[in-house]
Amino acid sequence: MDTAKIEKRIGIRASTDAIWEVIADLPGWDRWNPVETGVEGTIAFGGQITLAETIEGLPQRQGVARVGEWQPYAQLVWMENRGLWFRAMRYFEIEELEPGSCIASNGFIFSGLRGEMFFDRNRKHLRQAVDSVAEAWKAAAEA
């Protein structure tokens, strides 16, 4: 099965602890994240995450996802089945370059026929979303 991926990587001058703290505080996402708000749930394997997703140019939607992978100070991945032919994965990753300096990535991976079609139709909006989340995550972690 084919997949479609869009990602933004950004340098952040902060420790992995500080960057992860921003991600781990799910209710705090309202203070910094321009795309995912009202985030609630549990960061644990199989944990449920609920959120509102607001991507400019697309209708706002409520989402319910399951945590697929997570590693403290390194990664959070959740997955959503949006129908028989549409799966979406959302991820946040932190890679330490040296103490106090990291690369942070966030992105979407879509699979299934409808997932790929959604990606193709909305690539520009998805690009703006991952770029704005990266800049906001950087600002929050460096503050």
Q: What is the pLDDT of residue 117?
A: 93
Say what the pLDDT of residue 84 is.
Answer: 81
> Model-level pTM?
0.95
Hey, how many other C-beta atoms are within 10 angstroms of the C-beta on 36?
21
* 32 in Cβ contact with 136 (< 8 Å): yes
Nearest one of 42, 74, 10, 93 to 51, comparing CA atoms: 42
| pLDDT at residue 3 is higher than 90 | no
* Residue with token string 């300096």: 101
Question: What's the pLDDT at 100?
Answer: 96
Domain 3-142 bears CATH identifier 3.30.530.20: yes
Domain ranges of the chain: 3-142
